[in-house]
Amino acid sequence: MKLLLCSASPRRREFLERLGVRFSASAAHIDESRKAGEPALSYVRRMAREKAETCTRAGHVTLAADTVVVVGDEVLGKPRDRSDAERMLRLLSGIEHRVITAVCVPPEVRSVETAVTFAPLSEAQVRWLAASGDGDDKAGAYAVQGLAGAFVERLDGSFTNVVGLPLAETLEMLAEAGVDLPWT
């Protein structure tokens, strides 16, 4: 079966390419607004499903994902600007937060959660990280595989989930859907 990745994320594409998974890609263009009172898990699962539904093509297995960072009841998506990135980084400074990624291979949706703890960040570090642009298009305004990784004290769970695509779960879903994986 042919695989269609519904994502503009270079990180998701790179993961699949490095594994030798053959796919085509198409960005999903949907309204990513969170509904009032919508729990983080419901929101991220809905986003993954809607992205997959938008990109569905005959003869293809569709793969879509969405990632959020959660601090208490606050859901952090991508920062609107550098000021918003600074706000998010201050919020994450010195605390544990959750990263949730939902993966959809229709009709199935699975979600993976990882706990991440940041070291306390100084104002200079917050400004430097935000100004670097490293987290501009990333949930929570940071990339664990990028500059912010230097400030991660603890990660409990899937590293690839925090990057944006939990590979173990994704590969299992793709195999179940009949996608030809390099080792099959």
Cα angle value 19/147/153 (rounded, 5°): 90
Strands 24-25 and 74-76: unpaired
Q: Are 152 and 129 in contact (CB under 8 A)?
A: no
pLDDT at 1 over 90: no
**pLDDT-derived band of residue 184, with 50, 70 and 90 as boundaries?**
confident
Active site residues: 66
Q: What is the CATH number of domain 2-176?
A: 3.90.950.10
The confidence score (pLDDT) of residue 183 equals 93
pLDDT tens digit sequence for 128-177: 999 999 999 999 999 999 999 999 999 999 999 999 999 999 999 999 99
Residues 8-38 have pLDDT tens digits of 899 999 999 999 999 999 998 999 999 999 9
Residue 72 CB: number of other CB atoms within 10 A? 9
Residue 12 CB-density burial (10 A; 0-12 exposed, 13-18 middle, 19+ buried): buried
Instruction: Give backbone dihedrals phi and psi of 182, rounded to 5 degrees, phi first.
Output: -55, -30
Residue 53's CB is within 10 A of a number of other CB atoms, namely 15
The one-character DSSP state at 145 is T
Identify the pLDDT of residue 6: 96
72's tokens: 């208490």
Quickly list H helices, the chain.
10-19, 40-55, 82-92, 123-132, 159-163, 167-176
Domain residue spans of the chain: 2-176
pLDDT score, position 36: 92
Query: pLDDT tens digit string along 46-97?
Result: 999 999 999 999 999 999 999 999 999 899 999 999 999 999 999 999 999 9
